Structures are given as C-alpha cells and as structure tokens.
Structure 1
Amino acid sequence: MNKLLILLLLFGLFACEEKDCCVVVDTDVQLRYVNEEGTDLLNPDNESAFLHENIKIYADKEGEKKLAINANSDYPNYYQLFEQEGTYVLKVFPTDELVNNEAISYIALSDSVMDTLRLAIKRSDHSIIVEKVWYNGVLQYNLATGATKREFTIVK
C-alpha cells in the first residue's frame, strides 16, 4: 500500500510540472507579380512570366549576397510557389541571417530582376513574428497599424 501511495505521489508531482510547449513562427510574406495590364507574371502559361526554375532567394551576409539554401528546411530555397484562387503566389520565408532583428533577402526573379525584401522581426519566448515589411525600400506592412496580412501584389 505504501508503494502505491508513493507511486501516486510521484505521478502527482510530475504532472504539475509546467513545460514550455510551443513557439509560434509567423514570418512568411506572400507576393503576387503582375505587369501593368494585370497579367500574372508567375503563371507559366503566360509568355512574359518569370521562369520558376530561375527564381532564387539570396541572403545578405555581411553586406554580400549569398544564395540562401537550407537542406534541412521544409522549403530549402526559402520560398514556396503555389497557385491560389487562379493566381500564382510566391511565399518567401526570411533567411536565417538576422542583424538587429532584421532579415534582408534578395528575390531574384530572373538574371536581370532582383528585388529587396526587408523584415523587422520580433522574438519572444513563445513567438517569432514579423512586425514590418519593406519591399524595395517601401514600407508595405506594419503590424502596429493593425495590418493582418503580409500579402502584396507587385507591378513589374
């Protein structure tokens, strides 16, 4: 009987232990590219579309552009390309290179088209979130203003 009581007491002690459970990571930016006529520039059926195989993400590493690759990631090239509601979307994830809580990525859509994506990132014990997004130096998203979606259409 004493052994059972000790066993129950031990279960009770360990059951009350608080554990850190989860970290919410919300850092992607979704981009749509169109020309001035509204043609989807990521849709491979369009003659003027950017070729998917040419899209690359570069990280800013100490002032130099380096191809961003992480073989252990779900998206090793730091982006996902998918179709949503009839248009193609380029979902970009920040690279691991953070300086002063900012990540700078360069989006190469072709050999001649490269844009800059800068993210201000806030880290806490239980979350990693994007507070601000600049695309080619223009503020596109600011969490402090109540913005909810980091989705933009870029005209090329």
Structure 2
Amino acid sequence: MQKKILYLLVLPLLIYLFGCDKEENATNLDYGFACCVLDQDGNDLLNPMNPDAIDTSQIQIYHIIDGEPVFYYNAMSSIPKGYSIHAPYDNINYLNIIIPISSHIEYEDRSVTIVKWDEYDSDTITVQIEKMGSVQLGTKYWINGNEDIDWINQGLKVAKIVKTRE
C-alpha cells in the first residue's frame, strides 16, 4: 500500500519534470466554452426527454482555418467529435455542451468556431485570444456576432443560447 502511495506522489512529479523539453515552446490555452440550449419557453433542447430536443448525434463542429470551415474530428480521442454533453452542476440547471473552440487565429487575434446543430441550424462562436507569454486566454466572446451573451456562469464560460421553436 505504501508503495502505491509513493508511486502516486512521485509519478506526477516525474511527468512534470520530464514531460516538456526546455527548448519546447509550450502553450497553455484557456478559452473554453460551454452552453445550454433552450427554446423560447425555457425547455432544455439538449435533454433527450424533450420531444423537441436536438439530436446530439448530429452535432458537428467546424473550425475556420484560412477562411474555410474544417470539420473537427479526432479519431484518437475518447470524444472524437470534440464536444461532450454534461449534466447540470453548480448553478447551471440544464444539460450543457462543452465545445472545442478553435485555436487557429483567423483574424484580429480571433478564432472562429461553428456549431452545426442540424442540417439547417448553426451558431458561430468567435473568441478574441490574448497571448501572454506561453498562455493564450479567451478575453472576449461573441455568439453570431453578438457580444451581449446571456451568461449562465461567466467564470466557467457557460452561456445560454435560445432557439425559437414553433
């Protein structure tokens, strides 16, 4: 038992010490984004129990690179499409989707990510990225060009997106 505890204490230290080459220019990225998607009546559109729910298996993420949308897919990842749906937590009372924001600077220190909810509906998330040494920090966010975002939790970068359903 003591050996296991020793390994658990020493292993992270070894990874930290030998994991990065001193010549390597490592970058810490901090511009995550998550959102809850509701209809105009406040119904959770990510909740599969809702008859008007978004079919989350059809969601596609695109990163704009050199002016062109590039489909996000990483076959080596446990979440190859990049996004993940999470249960409510803290003061977030709805299911929420964590979206992989593009790390490619498209223009004016901004990255652009498109979330295609289905064949007909999408949202564009633009993030202004500020570089401070080896850190890249998302400092300003826009959804569909609008910077007046309805944040559910701005510190955790969880926004509310409302879709009009008939």
Range class of TM-score, shorter chain: 0.7 to 0.9
CA–CA distance in 2 between the matches of 1:45 and 1:153?
A: 19
Q: Which ranges in structure 2 are unaligned for 5 or more consecutive residues?
A: 1-21
- The structure richer in strand per residue is 1
- Corresponding residue of 1:39: 43
Output the CA distance in 2 between the equivalents of 1:42 and 1:119: 23
Partner residue in 2 for 1:106? 114
CA distance in 1, matches of 2:28, 2:69: 28
Compute the TM-score of the two structures, normalised by the length of structure 2: 0.69
Go from structure 1 to structure 2 and tell me whether the alpha carbon gap of 1:38 and 1:50 turns closer, same or farther (over 3 Å shift). same
> Which consecutive aligned stretches of 4+ in structure 1 deviate over 6 angstroms post-superposition?
none
Using the size of structure 1 for normalisation, the TM-score is 0.73
Native 8 Å contact 2:34 2:158 kept in 1: yes
Tell me: CA distance 1:112–1:134, structure 2 relative to 1, closer, same or farther (3 Å). Answer: same
Which of 81, 90, 94 is the equivalent residue of 1:87? 94
Superposition deviation, residue 94 in structure 1: 1.3
Could you say which residue in structure 2 is the equivalent of 1:29?
A: 33
Of residues 87, 104, 127 in structure 2, which corresponds to 1:97?
A: 104
SS of residue in 2 equivalent to 1:44: coil
Task: Describe the SS at the equivalent of 1:53.
Answer: helix
Kept after mapping to 1: 8 A contact 2:67/2:106: no
2:119 aligned with 1:148, yes or no?
no
1:103 match: secondary structure: strand
Q: Is the CA contact 1:123–1:129 (under 8 Å) kept in the aligned structure 2?
A: yes
SS at match of 2:87: strand
TM-fit CA distance, 1:62: 2.4
Native 8 Å contact 1:78 1:95 kept in 2 = no
Q: Give SS of 2:161's match.
A: strand
Q: Is the 8 A contact 1:33 1:155 kept in 2?
A: yes
70 and 98 in structure 1: CA distance in 2 versus 1, 3 angstrom threshold: farther
Indicate conservation of the 8 Å contact 2:65/2:106, yes or no: no
Residue of structure 2 equivalent to 1:10: none
Distance 1:77 1:103 in 2: 18
* 1:51 aligned onto 2:55: yes
| Deviations 1:101-124, CA, capped at 9 Å, x for gaps | 211011011111011110111122
Bigger radius of gyration, 1 or 2? 1
Overall identity of the aligned pairs, in %: 22
